[in-house]
A and B are shown apart, each in its own frame.
Chain A
């Protein structure tokens, strides 16, 4: 199975000059390409595959070389490289979310640390956390998970005066159990969502989200009869993958091309989307197209439900689409694009809270305005 398709990734070297060739390839695409088994799991093969992409030009070669250098440099770095290697190890597991991989990597840092006081351990964790975040600066769930774990560590060291060894082992245990929390979160969200899925309804989904898949799977196992409309999800064709999964469960599926959303909205009863990140305004950042679907649903009075784990809550407050760090990915149009033509390559968009009806999280069913309250409770 694939990792969370809604997880956004970013270019490690943002292209300052957009008019020169293709923007650098983001880690997001590399991960997805690997899970598609398009190339081997060797990172160098990734670079080679990137280099061999058409059109082959000096700019592309330079970008590929930069990517290769960036990939190699973490390995050559001792301590910092350790956390990156650990993160990549966990990231390859199909069931693990990116946030879980990050926390597992931080737990590994604690395990291998030689610090003798909580202060030293905090400093070491802070460095590892910053290194992880800078590795993929545009991944919101990665940043949110690191912040969440650091907050937990800070609270532990301040509020409980345990002996160092006991505290350290408890931190490791907590980090390692985070994977279970993630799986439990999905099940909790699936349970909460059943009240919203009624017999005979039609659900529109967008993007490949394991949480949404879990919701639909549980509804099907409860013998509810419903229909699912999947968007095609260009250029990754995530909708096709989603439709395969749903068809295997015996759920009636209809695939729409992305521009057919408004055409089909009148037969839709509700929209289910996942979230790459939930921001402080109550809005969500998700795969490109989510905002468009939410706008159409809102104008046609269809509810939009967001299924997201609480560890994806991030202290960000975008005001518009351009307010986020851009996350680029290559787009294959099937035919060569003429020279001089610009291509919008953003992988995700921001949906403001007024277009979302409810957030289904492991903390409960929340209105978008409560997200900020939860974040305040957590971080203040």
Chain B
């Protein structure tokens, strides 16, 4: 678990809040109470800006606002964390981030123990995911007076835990106390239907008995999850079912990639479909896009990003601000809940993350003097402009740059399928250039087949092969065109699995490798391998051969302890194998990606 937390945060921002939400089950009502309190007393919000040290003031209303405000940084994408403010609660959260970094360092220093911890922590995590079910009912039954008293006690405990947290976080014991907290939660919410599970729980609990329980649990209350306010019922039910499925899957996960989220794919779609009439808080267009992601109807960085932005556009169009809230805050929170839902359906790609960051930036910059309709119209036009400028026009510019590198009698090789690479071939064909295309494909997705159909239909001469034969075909290739899911600061290209192998073979044969990527897919992260950040697909897909069901030799080995199936989705290609990167800012060497990221960032703000 200590490895899982920081790595998962970097790969997809939504996973961490889900974990926090499960861990804070006993404080579910607190954010809702805080919201109610702020709505019932408008004057309280006026008092807050004027006070210099609001934490020191005893009145319960001011701490409520702190509680409501401090979770805001959590909703931002982890890739761009906001600077920690002077507030004590924010400082506590900042310490928590530092603690995660310390965990990573400790883990690398001691290779054997993390493996043991991971195997043990897998079970408590699963249990905790199922735990939240009874909590809402209990909270609803409390009276208003009891509610106030509980809030006051929580505040006192928070202050006490803040002092202790400063000391305890510096030590390695934080990891064990965190595990102890989870086991504590497990015991508290244990219910009869889960009698099968206690057999696995005692070993974890017994090891952690010597640790301190109360301070850790109190510390968790410092950062209540804000998302519970919006899709509480949905998330709880969904997580519960997932936890049941995940438990079975955990036994067969590949050790090296245990830190990546892994779900059983078969049950996700029917389960989500059956919930259609219960998702009152989810906009239908966002729900539809989520289903399309889950079923694989929409794939590819650009298509997913455009679909997501159009869904957000519809949601903004139908949005109306509650009378007690400001549009900026409420809409940002709503977008965050939509993003959490989409992350459940499909991990976010970097292009989608950048687009979400752009949208939240525009929402934050809206003038308070604008009316609701004006603000909504402005946001919709911003989304339209983003799609048009950063994706559609960018693709056209990339094509015009790349066409200059296509000559008559060229043999162009591409791997799998990329929309911008296909546009390049189409445009070169329209210009009357005589060239041939080699489409390299690989299981299990076989994306190149659809591309092959489209190219042949346009009259382009094609060769089709699989990636295992690439060394035989490469000697007649003159150019390699590849798409990319993202390009990182060190020039590494993050793309479909197999891309790195193709580029390495091309490099060995002295064939130039041209990577076509829109600038909005560039990212300032640095990544050296494909392990610390990746996406796991459905492992069962590997054991199946489409249209040849009789060849399922692995049918009876799904849960064999000695067999783990690994279906990776992405590759990280070192920049040494890239000859040129084509973006809408021109043709660049891989060493110039940081400059584009910097210029793009500046232009971004200027928009």
Binding site for B on A (CB under 8 A): 280-282, 315, 317, 319-320, 322-323, 353, 369, 372-373, 375-377, 379-380
A-B contact pairs, 10 of them (CB 8 A): A281-B589, A317-B587, A319-B405, A322-B407, A323-B405, A369-B589, A373-B591, A376-B585, A376-B592, A380-B599
Partner of B587, one of A280, A322, A369: A280
Residues of A within 8 A of B592 (CB): 369, 372-373, 376
Most central of A317, A322, A376, A377 by chain B CB within 10 Å: A317
A17 → chain B closest CB, angstroms:
16
Question: Are A372 and B599 in touch, CB under 8 angstroms?
Answer: no
Residue of A nearest to B594 (CB): A373
A281 to B591, CA, bound (A): 9
Residue of B nearest to A317 (CB): B587
Question: Are A320 and B512 in touch, CB under 8 angstroms?
Answer: yes
Question: Are A376 and B596 in touch, CB under 8 angstroms?
Answer: yes
Given A319-B580, A377-B595, check contact A372 B589 (CB 8 Å): yes
Given A280-B586, A376-B585, check contact A319 B512 (CB 8 Å): yes
Which of chain B's residues 263-282 have a Cβ closer than 8 Å to chain A? none
Question: Are B512 and A280 in touch, CB under 8 angstroms?
Answer: no
B203 → chain A closest CB, angstroms:
54
Judge if B250 is at the interface, Cβ distance under 8 Å.
Answer: no
A322 to B409, CA, bound (A): 13
Judge if B285 is at the interface, Cβ distance under 8 Å.
Answer: no
Judge if B588 is at the interface, Cβ distance under 8 Å.
Answer: yes
Given A320-B512, A372-B588, A380-B599, 10 more contacts at CB 8 Å?
A280-B589, A281-B589, A317-B580, A317-B587, A319-B405, A319-B580, A353-B589, A372-B591, A375-B586, A379-B586
Residues of A within 8 A of B596 (CB): 376
Residues of B within 8 A of A380 (CB): 585, 599
Question: Are B591 and A369 in touch, CB under 8 angstroms?
Answer: yes
Which of chain B's residues 396-423 have a Cβ closer than 8 Å to chain A? 405, 407
Judge if B579 is at the interface, Cβ distance under 8 Å.
Answer: yes
A318 → chain B closest CB, angstroms:
9
B580 → chain A closest CB, angstroms:
6
Residues of A within 8 A of B599 (CB): 376, 380
Residues of B within 8 A of A373 (CB): 591-592, 595
Residue of B nearest to A281 (CB): B589
B575 → chain A closest CB, angstroms:
10
Partner of B588, one of A280, A319, A323: A280
A379 to B587, CA, bound (A): 13
Residues of A within 8 A of B580 (CB): 281, 317, 319
Residues of A within 8 A of B405 (CB): 319, 323
A372 to B579, CA, bound (A): 13
Residues of A within 8 A of B589 (CB): 280-282, 353, 369, 372
B492 → chain A closest CB, angstroms:
15
Most central of B405, B407, B585, B588 by chain A CB within 10 Å: B588
Question: Are B512 and A315 in touch, CB under 8 angstroms?
Answer: no
Residues of B within 8 A of A323 (CB): 405
Residue of A nearest to B590 (CB): A369
Residues of B within 8 A of A315 (CB): 586
Question: Are A319 and B579 in touch, CB under 8 angstroms?
Answer: yes
A323 to B587, CA, bound (A): 14
Binding site for A on B (CB under 8 A): 405, 407, 479, 512, 514, 579-580, 585-589, 591-592, 595-596, 599
Question: Are B512 and A372 in touch, CB under 8 angstroms?
Answer: no
Residues of B within 8 A of A375 (CB): 586
A323 to B579, CA, bound (A): 14
B509 → chain A closest CB, angstroms:
13
Partner of B595, one of A317, A322, A376: A376
A375 to B407, CA, bound (A): 26
What 9 A-B pairs have minimum CB-CB distances, sorted nearest first? A369-B591, A317-B587, A372-B592, A319-B512, A373-B595, A376-B595, A281-B589, A372-B589, A380-B599
Residue of B nearest to A369 (CB): B591
B400 → chain A closest CB, angstroms:
13
A367 → chain B closest CB, angstroms:
9
A224 to B514, CA, bound (A): 46
Residues of A within 8 A of B479 (CB): 319
Residues of A within 8 A of B514 (CB): 319
Residue of A nearest to B602 (CB): A380
B511 → chain A closest CB, angstroms:
10
Residues of A within 8 A of B585 (CB): 376, 380
A319 to B580, CA, bound (A): 8
Most central of B407, B512, B580, B586 by chain A CB within 10 Å: B586
Residue of B nearest to A373 (CB): B595
A282 to B592, CA, bound (A): 11
A316 → chain B closest CB, angstroms:
9
A366 → chain B closest CB, angstroms:
12
Most central of B579, B589, B595 by chain A CB within 10 Å: B589
A281 to B479, CA, bound (A): 17
A252 → chain B closest CB, angstroms:
39
Residues of B within 8 A of A282 (CB): 589, 591
A226 to B512, CA, bound (A): 40
Residues of A within 8 A of B595 (CB): 372-373, 376-377
Residues of A within 8 A of B512 (CB): 319-320
A322 to B596, CA, bound (A): 28
A143 to B591, CA, bound (A): 25
Residues of B within 8 A of A376 (CB): 585-586, 588, 592, 595-596, 599
Residues of B within 8 A of A353 (CB): 589
A379 to B405, CA, bound (A): 21
A285 to B405, CA, bound (A): 18
B474 → chain A closest CB, angstroms:
16
A155 to B317, CA, bound (A): 39
A298 → chain B closest CB, angstroms:
16
B578 → chain A closest CB, angstroms:
11
Residues of A within 8 A of B586 (CB): 280, 315, 317, 375-376, 379
A320 → chain B closest CB, angstroms:
7
Residue of A nearest to B592 (CB): A372
A377 to B585, CA, bound (A): 11
Residues of B within 8 A of A322 (CB): 407
A281 to B580, CA, bound (A): 8
B397 → chain A closest CB, angstroms:
13
A375 → chain B closest CB, angstroms:
8
B358 → chain A closest CB, angstroms:
19
A365 to B98, CA, bound (A): 40
A110 to B585, CA, bound (A): 30
A281 → chain B closest CB, angstroms:
5
Residues of A within 8 A of B407 (CB): 322
Residue of A nearest to B596 (CB): A376
A320 to B405, CA, bound (A): 10
A375 to B592, CA, bound (A): 10
B116 → chain A closest CB, angstroms:
45
A133 to B524, CA, bound (A): 38
Residue of A nearest to B514 (CB): A319
Most central of B407, B512, B580, B592 by chain A CB within 10 Å: B592
Most central of A319, A320, A323 by chain B CB within 10 Å: A319
B133 → chain A closest CB, angstroms:
54
A149 to B316, CA, bound (A): 46
Residues of A within 8 A of B579 (CB): 319
B471 → chain A closest CB, angstroms:
21
Residue of B nearest to A320 (CB): B512
A201 → chain B closest CB, angstroms:
30
Residue of A nearest to B576 (CB): A354
A173 to B585, CA, bound (A): 31
Residue of A nearest to B586 (CB): A315
Residues of B within 8 A of A372 (CB): 588-589, 591-592, 595
A285 → chain B closest CB, angstroms:
15
Residue of A nearest to B579 (CB): A319
Residues of B within 8 A of A317 (CB): 580, 586-587
A281 to B596, CA, bound (A): 15
A315 to B401, CA, bound (A): 11
B287 → chain A closest CB, angstroms:
40
B516 → chain A closest CB, angstroms:
13
A375 to B587, CA, bound (A): 11
